[in-house]
Every structure is written in C-alpha cells, then in structure tokens.
Structure 1
Amino acid sequence: MEKFEKLTAVAAPMPASNIDTDIIMPKAFLKRIDKEGVLEGLFHDVRLYEDGREREGFVLNQPEYRSAKILVTGSNFGCGSSREHAVWGLEKRGIKCLIGSSFAGIFFDNCANNGVLAIVLPKETVSALIQEVQNSESKNVTVDLEAQTVTTPSGAILHFEIEPSRKEKLLQGLDPVALTLKSEEKIKNFEEDYFKKFPWLA
C-alpha cells in the first residue's frame, strides 16, 4: 500500500450522519473477493439514476468536487456491516483521507489497513470545516500526517490525534501482511523451534 505523508487536495463535504457501508458500497457489488468492480459500485445508488445517468446533486458529481481526494463527513461514517469493499471503493476512487467527528470501529480499522487516513476532530470543528469547504472559493485542504495537522482553505491549522502505531503504519505504507513480514525472521525461528519440540506436527 502507498505511504501517506502529506496531501494537499480538494475536500468534498458529505455532512449527512450515519452514511453506512451499504450506501458506500451496495451489496450487489460484493460478489467478488478482489477489488475489481468496486469503483463502479462506489456510492452507486446515490451517485447514479437507475438509467445510469449521474445524479447532479451528488457531491462527487459536481465539477468543483470531482477531483476530491478528501471527504469531510458527518458523524458515524462507515457504520453498518464490516464490508472492506467500502474502503476499497474509496481508495480506488482516489480518496486518501476522511475527516469526521466519528467513524464506525471496523470501518476505521479497514481504512488504516488500506492506506486511507481517517481523522477524528470535534463535531463543531468538522461542521465549521464543512461550511468552509462549501462556501470558500478554494476547496483545497492540506493534511500533514507527520505533524498531525489539517490546514483549511482559509489557512487555519487544526491539530488531530492518532494512535502512534496507526500513524507509523500509514507513514511507512504497511498493510497487515507487510507489517507481519517485518517479523519474518522471528516467525521462522519460532517455527523451527516449535517443530523441533513437536516434530509430529510438521
């Protein structure tokens, strides 16, 4: 997975609360266990009419937000089922960062495991950021993971907290497999010792 260090990009406001994983990635697009087709499925039912035309009111269809790599979300974003496809779709769409007041727990972990930074800020701070992104001429927000700051379009600097191990995984671009492989030598040594003690299990 790609490292996340610093990102300056268009931020799109998605202020509704309780946007669940069935909205982010409808169940019709869960038939595969790989990432093929997830881009088509992302926000499918709210992004498109039944005949395939784009819904003009959906934020990511609007010209000023089409290139967005950051979403500023309402509370409890990613609730519902634990489907990882929801995060796969966001990542495939180029969404690298989510900023909200709260996220569903499993969804929050799925983000970190797929290189998407989910930032938690106070509800009133998120509401103010949504208003700023909606009303300012510039839609660009800068996220600096090392410094743990978000710079708004007006230049205001917001500080956020993040668990050190989560921060390090994102900075280094380590998914769970890559993180495990950092201990490959220790794992091999354990296996060798274990099978010496219990050779009938080899």
Structure 2
Amino acid sequence: MEPFRRLSALACPLPLASVDTDQLIPARFMKTPRAEGYGRFLLYDLRYGSDGRPSGALPLDEPARAGAQILVARRNFGAGSSREAAVYALVDYGIRCVIAPSFGDIFAANAANNGLLPAVVSEEDAERLLFALEAGLEELVVDLEAERIEGAGEPIAIMIDPVMRTKLLNGWDDLDMTLSRADEIAAFAEADATRRPWARPDA
C-alpha cells in the first residue's frame, strides 16, 4: 500500500452530511468482482438517474473536477453498514483523502487500512473549505506529517487517531502494524515461556 505523507491535488466539494456506505456504493453493485474496479459505482444513485444517465447533481461530475483526489464533505461521512466496498469505491475512483468533521468509526478504520485518509476537521473549517472550493479554489495540500491542510488561507488542523496516522504514513494495514512489533512480540513470548513453561502447549 502506498504511504500517505503529503498530497497536493485537485479537491472536490461534496456538501452533504451523513453520506452513508449504501450511498457510497449501493449493495446491488457489490456482486461485481473487486478486480473489475468499484470506482464507476461511487455515489451511483446520486450521480445517475433511474435511466442510467448522468444527473449532473454532484460537483464530482463537473469537467473541472475530473481527477479529484480529495473530497470535502460534512459530518458523519461513511455512516451506516460496515461494508469495506464503500472505501474500495472511493479508492478505485482515485480519492486518497476525505475531509469531514466526523466519520463512521468502521468506515474510518477501513479507510486507513486501504490507504485512504479520513481527515477530521472542525465543522467551521469544513464549511470554510466547502465555501472556498465552491467559490473557485481547485487544489488543496493535505500534509499528514504536519497534520494540517493548506491552500485555503490559514492552515487547518487535522485530527486523526495516532494508530491510523502511523499506518497511513507507513502504508501499513493491521497485519503490517502487528509485524512492526515482531521483535517485541518474540521477546515477550520468550520471557513468558520462562515464567510460565506450563502454559506452552506440548510440541
């Protein structure tokens, strides 16, 4: 997984609250193999009408936003079910960072495990970013090492769980995070075997 340290990229406003995982990828598309890509299903029912034609309802489909890697939304992004496919849809579309005042807990964990930064900002800062993007601002800089967002006036602080930050900076998932402590785990196991030889199963 590619480490996330500093991203300077086109940003897109998504001025909606409580965008849930079923909106991010409707369940009917989840039978498609991941190898075929989920990006085309991102926010499908908001972006397309019942006839399958683009509705033009979201800034994401404006030609000027093509290739956006950063989304700015309102609170409670990724609420709803635990489907990891919601993160796949964003990542496969090309999104590397979502900025919002809050995230669904399971969505945020899935995001970090797939290289997608769930950047928490205050409600006021989210609105400031949305206003700037809707007024013509195109690019933002998301600096995870410095924990801030640049490009819209005064830098904006990012709030993120330290474990998620470590995983993203290193490009690690949960298994990689565990393996990074392999020496400590082995040392503990060796010491524990000395303290409690009776606890080790027979070979």
TM-score normalised over the length of structure 1? 0.87
Q: Is the 8 A contact 1:29 1:37 kept in 2?
A: no
Percent identity of equivalent pairs: 38
| Distance (whole Å) between structure 2 residues aligned to residue 35 and residue 21 of structure 1 | 20
- Distance in 2, matches of 1:20 and 1:14, equals 13
Describe the shift of the 1:86–1:128 C-alpha distance in structure 2 as closer, same or farther (beyond 3 A). Answer: same
Shift of 1:196: 8.9
Question: Separation in 2 of the partners of 1:73 and 1:91?
Answer: 16
Aligned-pair CA distance for 1:183: 4.0
Alpha-carbon distance in structure 1 between the residues aligned to 2:21 and 2:165: 24
Q: Is the 8 A contact 2:39 2:93 kept in 1?
A: yes
TM-score by length of 2: 0.87
Letter in 2 for 1:52: G
8 Å Cα contact 2:48/2:55 also seen in 1: yes
| Root mean square deviation, CA, Å | 2.4
CA distance in 2, matches of 1:147, 1:6: 9
Amino acid across the alignment from 2:9: A
Q: 1:14 to 1:195 in 2, by over 3 A?
A: farther
Is the contact between residue 20 and residue 79 of structure 1 (CA under 8 Å) also seen in structure 2? yes
Q: Distance in 2 between matches of 1:14 and 1:82?
A: 21
- Establish whether residue 198 from structure 1 lines up as the match of residue 197 from structure 2: no
Report the number of matched residues.
197
Query: Is residue 107 of structure 1 aligned with residue 110 of structure 2?
Result: no
Secondary structure in structure 2 of the residue aligned to 1:125: helix
**Counterparts of 1:187 and 1:147, CA distance in 2:** 30
Residues 20 and 53 of structure 1, relative CA distance in 2, 3 Å threshold: same
The corresponding residue for 1:146 is 145
Q: Does 1:171 align with 2:169?
A: yes
- How much does 1:34 deviate? 4.2
Residue 184 of structure 1 and its aligned partner are, at CA, apart by 4.5
Point out where structure 1 has 5 or more consecutive residues left out of the alignment: none
- 1:117 Cα deviation after fit: 0.8
**Residue 48 (structure 1) shift:** 1.8
In the other structure, the counterpart of 1:88 is 88
CA distance in 2, matches of 1:67, 1:14: 15
Match of 1:181? 179
- 8 Å contact kept, 1:96–1:116: yes
